Structures are given as structure tokens and as C-alpha cells.
Amino acid sequence: MTSNTNTPSDDSTPTSGDGIDVAHLSALARLALNAEATSEVASDLQSIVTLIDAMRTVDTEGVEPLSHPFDGTARLRADEVTEHPDPEHFQRNAPATSDQYYLVPRVVE
Amino acid sequence: MNDVFSLREMSRALADGQVSSLELTQDHLARVKEVDSRLNSFITLTEETAIAHATAADTLRGQGDKRPTLGLPMAHKDIFCTEGTLTTAGSKMLSNFVAPYDATVVTKMADAGMVSVGKTNMDEFAMGSSNENSYFGPVTNPWDTDRVPGGSSGGSAAAVAAGLVAGATGTDTGGSIRQPAALCGITGLKPTYGRVSRFGMIAFASSLDQAGPMTRNAEDAALMLSVMAGFDPKDSTSANRDDAWLADVLHHGIAELERPAVIGLPDQYYENSGNQESLAEARQELEKLGHTFKSVSLPHTDAAIPVYYVLASAEASTNLSRYDGVRYGHRCENPTSLQDLYERSREEGFGDEVKRRILTGTYTLSVGYFDAYYLKAQKIRRLIAQDFDKAFADVDLLLTPTSPTPAFHKGQLTDDPVAMYQQDLYTVPTSLAGLPAMSIPCGFSQGLPMGMQLIAPAFREDLALGLAAQFQRHTDWHLKRPGEIN
């Protein structure tokens, strides 16, 4: 997922969902949608973007973003070994494995 | 007998030797088998392990173990990993997933001697307000079989309402415990964010997800919370607290409130609510008990739904990127390339609502939109949290409707995702602020149960539970049960 700090500030106006490029989004999200699904999703996304656009009138000048309730920060723990590898146990759910490797279609010819 | 028993009542019956855990568990299993083909509230029944755990509980009791939770049957929402048992999150993606470890909540309840009879149905990956988004089919509301039970913890809510179990776990990201509790006429508590460990709970939106109890009354909710809650080093956002009331409540029940409460009524929650009548009656009852009311303002309430759908979808699109068809979960047939494997496995494995949320999150996090949507939403999230802080400077608790309407018809909102999202109107703001909130039954509309929501300051579940328990000692809405399911 891409975030970009060089994009317009929150005062700028993106396209408000006009002409959402569903093919591009589904490629980013690794979802193979057929033509019918793409057109349905485009219409749904348009309504959802209209819904979320309603928040853009709120004045947030000088407000710091809140990423986590109570401004909590993730706690760090000591770097200790707490679990023991058990590939057989954890690979039981894998669709295809061999010699403790996960198998996928050939990537490099 | 279990259709009239609460957890506390069963606990007393076990302590008095009137019944064994094995008998109770067998009764529960029999009732699920008899009734659930009409409700579809369970995805998996764990008969064998339930019988084994009940037998073990009876053996411990015979050896002098007197813990109040020992041998009590209950159920888990199918979002909690249970080692050796199917854990699906209501998704085709995980329809073959046997969890390799237990969620902390599952471990804690098993350690307390509680007996899980099975895993309850839910909206896929907890995304939904009607339980119509489950790969395993919709759940029926026991009060009216043409209506939804609410969601996403619709299976747990329907199972408790129908008397299949007296208590079930749920999870709440934007209202998924409270809204189905309201629509099914039961008690549901979303604890403070960080109160209950998220370890082993399949993630939807990690800064919002929180597990909690769904029961018939506040006393049972407190009993379950006392077992579920606690610091967990395996969850980096787990709160490290030492609240004495949580331990007390296990053995002594909910304490009386120290003084009458000042209860805030947020103006914005009463503007369009269809639940005015039952809430007005509840207010009168609370006034008789000595509590006073005060109008308060939560000015950023209108922005909560947009903010929630930006943040929750963004977090979901990130969390659900783990389902790639490689390490676990659904894999498409005959992938031609790695890209094809990812794209078709995810297309086939996820349902429509999950795809909508992933794509919404992908959109708001993508280049050019991040600041305008994601960052903007995080800023408003702070304003919403500050609104609550200001309100709690003047009042002890807030009283609001839980949902805008009683249970709606199956299929009524499925074609209109935005209308469905409005179901969360009254529950989402507290989720964004991380606050504890519970829904308890407060009356009926069109013959269907209505819920009221009590919102408390952070880590003050005791206040909401105290008021709810007192209200339930003086009213009988929580004792009303649906007719026989036909």
C-alpha cells in the first residue's frame, strides 16, 4: 500500500471519487474482478466516497492525527526467543508445500 | 432447562450439586441441534471437546474446585482462533482453516473451566451489520424469522437470544457487539480498547477491534468480562491495568453504584432516533432510581461514520493483504503465475462486502488521497475523542439509542451498502474514541426488541455495568424471550 507525503495537503480537493479507476485499485489490491463486478464496484465505491467526503468540511486546522485510542504506542519487548519453530504444525494449512517450502507457480524461468 | 438459565444461575446450580457440567453441556448441544437448523447461528459445533471439557470440569469440582465459572457452557464467535478447530471468520477464504493456536480469550475462558460448545456465525471478517455477509449463510433473528439479527456478531446474539447458550464472545469494531445485542434483545458489552487481548482474534481494523461478552444480563456480562480481560504481553496494545473491581465481580457480582449517576444525553443522538419512546420510559425508570440527566453535546458526531469507514477500511485493506493463497486459506485452481495466484485466490475467497472495504481502503490510502482522507480522518478522530472527554467532565455516563431501528428484514439493505453503514450511527463514535459501551434491552417497537446504549469513560466498565445491573433489577425487558422458533 502506498502513502505519499508529497501529495496535496488535506485542504486540497481530490476528485471526490469522480471516475474512480477500479481497474487500477483492484490491481493494487490484487483482486481479479471481471467486467460486471468492476462496474458494480465502481457504482458502490462512488456512493461510499460520497459518504466519506462529508467529513471534509470539518475544520481540522492545528489538530494532530490520532492513530490509536488514548494515543497509545506499541509496546516493545525484549528480544528473546519465545517460540520454537514447528514448520510441520504451521504448514498444515498451506495449500502446497515441499520440504518445508511454500510452493507457488514458477517466478523465474 | 438451559433456556431459562443465566450463567450465574447455572453457576449456582453447579455449586449446589443440582446439575453437572456434563448434563448442562449435553442439554446445550441437544438444543443447538434441535433449533439451529432454523437460525444458522453456529458454524461449527465442537461436541467432542465440549463433552471432554465438561467431564474434566466435573472431575475438578469433585476435587473441591469451587470457581464460579467452572463447567459453564458458552460459545465463541468464529473469529477467535481455536487450536485444532475450524476458524473461518465467516469467510470462504478461511473455510478450510484449522487454527494452529488458541486466541488468548479462548485460553483464558478454557483456563477458567468454561466449556465452549461451538463457534458462532458472523459477517465475513466482521464486516457487516446484518450477518448477511457470511459465507456460511445468513443468521435468523429468533424474534422474527424474516429479519436479521444484526452483525457482525449476529450468530452469538441469536444463539443467546434463542437460549442456545447463556453467554457467547463477540467482537466489536464499530458496533458489532452492541447493534446485534440490541436487535436480538440481549446484553452486549464492548470493553475499553486494550481491556481484552486481541491475540488470536482475526484482525479487521486493529486500532478499533475489541472483544467482549454477549449475555442475557449485565451480571453475566461482568462475569465473562472478568475472565476475558487482562494484560497480555502477546498483544502490543493490551492495557496493563490492575482494576480491583474486575476480580471482585467474579466472586461477588456487580457492586452497587456508590452514588446516583449524572447521565448525559447527547443532543446529536436524539435528533432522528426512532427509539424515543422506549428510551423515554427507561429515563423515567432511571430517574425513579435517583439518577439525574443532563443534556450534552458531541459536536463531531455527524463525521463519525465517514471517519470510521475511512479508517476501518484502510486498516482492513492492510490487514487482509495477508490472505494471498500461499501460506494458508483459499487458493485458486491452476494458477498460471504468482500474480494470477494472488488475484484469483483473493477474488474467489472474499465476498462482496469485504472486497468493497478492501478497495475503499486501497483508494483512501493511495497516492494523492492519503492526506485528504486517511490523515484527515485521523484528525477528526481526535476531535471525536475530545468531544467525549469534555462531556465526561460534566457527567458520569452517557445514555443513547444503540441502533436507529429495530431488526430490519433480510435483504432490505443488502443492495445499499451506504444505508447499511448508517446502522452504526450510534456505535461508531465510541469505537473511534476507544471507550467502553454496552447495549441493554429497554423496550419493544413493532414487537421487536430495542436496545439502549450506556457509554462510560475509558476503563470504567464498572459504571456502565453498575447502572445496567441496577436497571435490570427494576425492569424485566432483559427477561423477555422470543416465542418458540418454528
Read off the pLDDT of residues A25-42 as tens digits, 9 standing for 90 and up. 999 999 999 888 898 999
| B362, B368, B458 member nearest A7 (Cβ) | B368
The pLDDT > 90 percentage for chain A reads 50
Look at chain B and count its residues: 486
Contact list, B383 vs chain A (CB under 8 Å): 58, 60, 63
DSSP B430-458: HHHHT--EEEEEEEEETTEEEEEEEE-ST
CB contact under 8 A, A60 and B341: no
pLDDT digits (tens, 9 = 90+) for B467-486: 999 999 999 999 999 987 64
Residue with cell 444525553: B265
B212 bridge partner residues: B170
pLDDT exceeds 80 at position B274: no
pLDDT band of residue A9 (cuts 50, 70, 90) is: very low
CA distance B433 to B250: 27
Which residue does chain A place closest to B378, by CA atoms?
A: A65
pLDDT digits (tens, 9 = 90+) for B152-165: 999 999 999 999 99
Cell numbers found for residue B141 = 433473528
The values of phi and psi at residue B99, to 5°, are -60, 135
Strand B210-215 to B187-190 pairing? antiparallel
Residue B4: per-residue pLDDT: 54
| A51, A76, A90 member nearest B305 (Cβ) | A51
Our CA-based measurement puts residue B222 at a distance from the nearest CA of chain A, in whole angstroms, of 23
Quick check: A23 contacting B, CB < 8 Å? Answer: no
Residue A12: per-residue pLDDT: 41
Residue B58: per-residue pLDDT: 98
CA distance B21 to B58: 6
Contact list, A17 vs chain B (CB under 8 Å): 363
**Among this protein's residues, is B20 annotated catalytic?**
no
Residue A13: per-residue pLDDT: 42
SS3 annotation, B16-77: CCCCCHHHHHHHHHHHHHHHHHHHCCEEEECHHHHHHHHHHHHHHHHCCCCCCCCCCEEEEE
| Interface probe, candidates A1, A28, A53, A66, chain B, greatest B C-beta count within 10 A | A66
Size of interface A-B (CB pairs under 8 A): 206
Which residue does chain A place closest to B330, by CA atoms?
A: A95
Find the mean pLDDT for residues B52-73.
Answer: 98
Q: Where are the domains of chain B?
A: 2-260+475-479
pLDDT digits (tens, 9 = 90+) for B119-151: 999 999 999 999 999 999 999 999 999 999 999
CB atoms < 10 A from the CB of A87, how many? 12
User: Chain B, 140-159: which have a CB under 8 Å from a chain A CB?
Assistant: none
Our CA-based measurement puts residue B96 at a distance from the nearest CA of chain A, in whole angstroms, of 8
Quick check: A67 contacting B, CB < 8 Å? Answer: yes
Catalytic residue among B6, B20, B21, B77: B77
- Cis bond leading into B295, ω under 30°? no
Contact list, B337 vs chain A (CB under 8 Å): 105, 107
pLDDT digits (tens, 9 = 90+) for B316-355: 999 999 999 999 999 999 999 999 999 999 999 999 999 9
CA distance B179 to B181: 5
CA distances (Å), origin B62, targets B4, B17, B21, B59, B117: 26, 10, 11, 5, 22
- What superfamily in CATH does domain B2-260+475-479 come from? Amidase signature (AS) domain (3.90.1300.10)
Q: Long-range pairs for A22-26 at CB < 8 Å and ≥24 separation? A: A22/B359, A25/B359, A25/B362, A25/B363, A25/B366, A26/B359
Residue B162: per-residue pLDDT: 96
Residue B383: per-residue pLDDT: 98
Residue B444: per-residue pLDDT: 94
Find the mean pLDDT for residues A95-103.
Answer: 94
Under 8 Å between Cβ of B80 and B200: yes
pLDDT digits (tens, 9 = 90+) for B6-31: 999 999 999 999 999 999 999 999 99
Residue A77: per-residue pLDDT: 80
User: Chain B, 359-378: which have a CB under 8 Å from a chain A CB?
Assistant: 359-360, 362-378
Cell numbers found for residue B231 = 494484560
Cell numbers found for residue B120 = 458462532
Quick check: A48 contacting B, CB < 8 Å? Answer: yes
Residue A14: per-residue pLDDT: 46
| ipTM value for the complex | 0.91
**Among this protein's residues, is B197 annotated catalytic?**
no
A107 bridge partner residues: none
Quick check: A105 contacting B, CB < 8 Å? Answer: yes
pLDDT exceeds 60 at position B458: yes
